[in-house]
Amino acid sequence: MMDTQPVLQSDTLEKMIDAGENALVEFKERWHDLSGKPGKAELIKDILAMANALEGEEPGFLIFGVSDEKHGGGLKGIAPDGGPSPDQFSQLIGEWTHPTVNCGLQHVEVRSVPIDVMTVNRSKERPHFSKRNVSGVLRDDVVYIRCGATIRTCSGPEIERMIRLKEAALGPMIQAPSISLGVVDLRHGRLVVRVTNHIEATVSDVNVFVDVALHTQPDVRIRQGLLYDTKLAPSEHRECQLDFRQLTFPQGNDVGWDSSNRTHRWLDLVLRAQYRDRDGLLRMLHESVALTD
């Protein structure tokens, strides 16, 4: 959501710049190179980290055209074509962040020097993620947060706390599964399973396994892993298979897929897929099927 941003007056900005950087204000001497993905990714990481760090009602600010004290401090200015227009900026935020970070961009003059001011507002929809992966720069399966002058990734408990605050403010979030799990083939003692990513972001920590039990002896069962710690890119699918004729159950006397005993060729299966959702929580899918021959 992109709300109307308050117009910052020149004298207010002067005071902010004179006061220096703090938890809510960061100076950037120049814009990132937005002609390519790495520069866009660096900018998005800065914005996500600021948005996820805001706890109170005060917004955060990224001010372009001002150097920090380590680099001499003071106004440096922005070239006329040095940064995006407000419309270009809004489009970038919509295409790269989820939920969309509530922020805006203003071109302002301070002491006759042109600078750009980005206002990042606190959101009840935290945590915010990137929609895209850029190798070595930005990941879509972690939550970035600003900590002092540095950016780090949130821990599991930190993400869970954000989610609890979101649910308290907006109500429980009902999400459709990010992945689907289905049987492709179930003939001649062989199981082929397909798992597919249906969202516009990478799904991580995907594990697929199957619980196998003899229908006539439900206490005789075995769990077999099919896929481990896998990442699925948007629209990507993986297929994995299991040959039941090669299984040996731990209980009984080598009870398994017995071609000479029809009762040993009727198996009850529970397919399970575990994955990490965009909220950082582990989720589970399952489907029950029967196999006979």
DSSP annotation string for 67-111: E-GGGT-EE----TTSS--HHHHHHHHHHHEESPP-EEEEEEEET
Residue 2 lies in a domain: no
Q: In terms of pTM, does the model score above 0.75?
A: no
Residue at which a domain ends, from 170, 197, 223: 170
Say if residue 79 is in the same domain as residue 194. no
In a domain, 3, yes or no: no
Does the pLDDT value for residue 259 go beyond 60? Answer: no
Mean pLDDT of all residues belonging to the chain = 84
Range of the domain at 287: 179-291
Q: Domain total for the chain?
A: 2
Question: In this structure, what token pair is assigned to residue 166?
Answer: 């979101």
Contact residues for 152 (Cβ-Cβ < 8 A; gap 6+): 144, 145
How much is the pLDDT for 262?
46
Is 4 inside a domain boundary?
A: no
For residue 34, give the CATH number of its domain. Answer: 3.30.950
Stretch 63-74: mean pLDDT, rounded?
A: 79
pLDDT at residue 189, rounded to an integer: 74
Residue of 143, 138, 141 lying closest to 161 (CA atoms): 143
Report whether pLDDT(251) > 70.
Answer: no
Could you give the CA distance from residue 193 to residue 214 in angstroms, rounded to a whole number? 20
Residue 216, pLDDT above cutoff 90: no
What confidence score (pLDDT) does residue 207 get? Answer: 94
* Percentage, residues of the chain above pLDDT 90: 42
- Give 191's pLDDT tier (boundaries 50, 70, 90): confident
